[in-house]
Amino acid sequence: MSINRVVITGMGAVSPYGVGADILYKSMRQGASAVKKCPALEEVNGLNCHIAGSVPNLDEKQIPRKHRRSMSRMSFFSMLSCMEALEMAKITPEMRQNGQTGVIIGTTVGSPQTQQDFFSDYLQDYSIERIKSSLFFKIMGNTCASNVALALGISGRVMAPSAACATGIQAIGLGYEAIALGKQRTMLCGGAEELHPLTVAVFDIIKAASTGYNSNPGRSPRPFDKDRDGTVCSEGCGIVVLESLESALEREAHIYGEVIGFSATSDTTNISSPDPKSIEQCMLAALISAEIEPDQVEYVNAHATATQLGDPAECEAIERVFGNQTYVSSFKGHLGHSLAGSGALEVISMLKMMAENLCLPTLNLEQPGEDCAMVRHVLQTQPLSIRTVIKNNFALGGINSSLILRKYA
Amino acid sequence: MIQQEIIDIVNRSLAEEFELETENMKPEAHLYKDLGLDSLDAVDMVIVLENAFGRKLRDEKAILKIQTLGDLYAFIEESRRNY
């Protein structure tokens, strides 16, 4: 069994700011919110959250019809993100096809819009005679990973973890472990989500969606803030190219960061309410995986989605593990919560911010709530040389995951 | 319905569904080799044509022998006569 160092050599993003990792980071750097009014949500009876982050101006026609026909919106996001990431990493077609390159992209559920289209037709007369051949390929759990692998000729491992909001970090963690163990040389990893009223409703039904900022969409979500009132859903996809250090050096690839630890644990206390102790155990497990001590972590990129229960639970756990001097921010205030897409999108923004020796704040965090005040919040963009960070991703269903990254040196 | 109408409807339907260039849609064009369709497209082609012509085509045995656009025009014409 070999243990390889694993580095990041490419990034690709489709976010509510648009297509591209640069527009993602530049928009965040400017302090822009990606959350807007969403008229489609206003039409849903009983739904109280009318704001969201939608991907604008998507040009899916650049994907050949042969591949596009079996893709839904989340697979378009995945494909465009992977194309950008591969180009940035300068991964050649030969590398993609040699069996040593794989793809891990998960989602919460297969395309909900396609499922709606199917059932809207099917329930008219319980007939399947009008249903086209590509239906299954858009709703299967592995839709993003398989469509991307097929379209890009990626012949190694194809995996699709489904862990709701923790999917993105799980995907990166699985890729990290596969490369560390020498099972793959290169892997495209991340998560994707497409916005649908069903997703927003999930949070609204359990009183975890923001409902008080429908007239001021840019002011919500408000992670950690005393006036936070729940999460705001969004959509998109983040992809990172993971590669063994040996391979990256051999190719003289630019290295954007190194993955040094990963953990995935289960919170068995409740299917929806996060337990601080479980979060603490998850972060401790990541530190053990990385073989570092808590005081070596200089920044925590929190999962924090601005819910009443989730934010304080995470703060309590962060304070227990890292104390009150480690910088903490959440990017949900900028991006909203793209569920399976969130983990990798936030990793990409974090890597770019570290490259600029900056620390981005939690957008909309003006005054921390008393229950979130025990950690060192970043309230505005500040110069900061950060070497080692932990990225949290937690999910409904009791799935926790943490990833530890550091600047490559 | 005269044959030209059939040709127009078939070509319009297939061009829209499969994003085909109309100048390539000649009677001798092979659906797979020339127009790039495959077995999944063949399934969708039947659904599209059933919708365009308003009748069920999928159970016709002759449908399995279609190879070119010309075969398809003739199939539609024949199915119309038998309808």
pLDDT digits (tens, 9 = 90+) for B39-80: 999 999 999 999 999 999 999 889 999 999 999 999 999 988
Last residue of a domain, one of A222, A251, A280: A251
DSSP letter for each residue of B4-73: HHHHHHHHHHHHHHHT--GGG--TT-BTTTTT---HHHHHHHHHHHHHHHTS--TT-GGGGG--BHHHHH
Can you name the residues that pair with A390 across neighbouring β-strands? A300, A404
Give the closest-approach CA distance of B55 to chain A in angstroms.
Answer: 12
Any domain includes A2:
no
Count of Cβ atoms closer than 10 Å to residue A320 Cβ: 16
Do A331 and A204 share a domain, yes or no? Answer: no
Query: Quick check: A132 and B43 CB within 8 A?
Result: yes
Query: Quick check: B44 and A129 CB within 8 A?
Result: no
Do A31 and A156 share a domain, yes or no? Answer: yes
| A65: nearest CB among B19, B56, B58 | B19
In chain A, residues with a C-beta closer than 8 Å to the C-beta of B36 are 66
Do A280 and A362 share a domain, yes or no? Answer: yes
Task: Show me where the domains of chain B are located.
Answer: 3-82
Q: Which range has the worst mean pLDDT, A104-108, A265-269, A296-300, A327-331?
A: A265-269
Do A189 and A225 share a domain, yes or no? Answer: yes
Q: Which of A144, A165, A189, A372 is catalytic?
A: A165
Q: What is the pLDDT of residues A352-400, one digit of tens each?
A: 999 999 999 999 999 999 999 999 999 999 999 999 999 999 999 999 9
Query: Quick check: A130 and B47 CB within 8 A?
Result: yes
Do A154 and A176 share a domain, yes or no? Answer: yes
**What is the C-alpha separation between A141 and A107, in angstroms, rounded?**
7
Can you name the residues that pair with A13 across neighbouring β-strands? A238
Are A303 and A340 in contact by the 8 Å Cβ rule? The answer is: no
Q: What is the ipTM of this complex?
A: 0.89
Do A297 and A219 share a domain, yes or no? Answer: no
In chain B, residues with a C-beta closer than 8 Å to the C-beta of A133 are 40-41, 43-44
Do A264 and A176 share a domain, yes or no? Answer: no
Q: Which range has the worst mean pLDDT, A62-76, A167-181, B69-83?
A: B69-83
Token output for A189: 């990893």
Rounded mean pLDDT, B27-47: 96
Confidence bin at A52 (pLDDT 50/70/90): very high
What is the domain-level CATH number for residue A80?
3.40.47.10
Q: What is the pLDDT of residues A70-86, one digit of tens each?
A: 999 999 999 999 999 99
Any domain includes A348:
yes
Give the closest-approach CA distance of B21 to chain A in angstroms.
Answer: 13
Q: Which of A315, A337, A359, A372 is catalytic?
A: A337
Do A393 and A310 share a domain, yes or no? Answer: yes
Catalytic-residue membership of A165: yes
Query: Is the CB of B36 inside 8 Å of chain A's CB atoms?
Result: yes
Q: What is the pLDDT of residues A71-130, one digit of tens each?
A: 999 999 999 999 999 999 999 999 999 999 999 999 999 999 999 999 999 999 999 999
Catalytic-residue membership of A337: yes
Rounded mean pLDDT, A267-278: 92
Rounded mean pLDDT, A193-199: 97
Last residue of a domain, one of A251, A271, A305: A251
Arithmetic mean of pLDDT over chain A: 97
In chain A, residues with a C-beta closer than 8 Å to the C-beta of B56 are 129
Any domain includes A1:
no
Best CA proximity match to A343, nearest among A394, A383, A282: A394
Best CA proximity match to A305, nearest among A335, A261, A263: A335
pTM value is: 0.96
Do A50 and A114 share a domain, yes or no? Answer: yes
Confidence bin at A409 (pLDDT 50/70/90): confident
The number of residues in chain A equals: 409
Do A68 and A119 share a domain, yes or no? Answer: yes
**What is the C-alpha separation between A25 and A406, in angstroms, rounded?**
18
In chain A, residues with a C-beta closer than 8 Å to the C-beta of B44 are 132-134
Do A199 and A123 share a domain, yes or no? Answer: yes
pLDDT of residue A1: 45
Which residues form the domain of A267?
Answer: 260-406
Any domain includes A23:
yes
Any domain includes A232:
yes
| B40: nearest CB among A129, A130, A133 | A133
For chain A, what is the domain count?
Answer: 2
Query: Quick check: A133 and B19 CB within 8 A?
Result: no
What percent of chain A is modeled with pLDDT above 70? 100
Nearest CA in chain B to A64: B19
Do A226 and A107 share a domain, yes or no? Answer: yes
| Fold topology of B3-82 | 1.10.1200
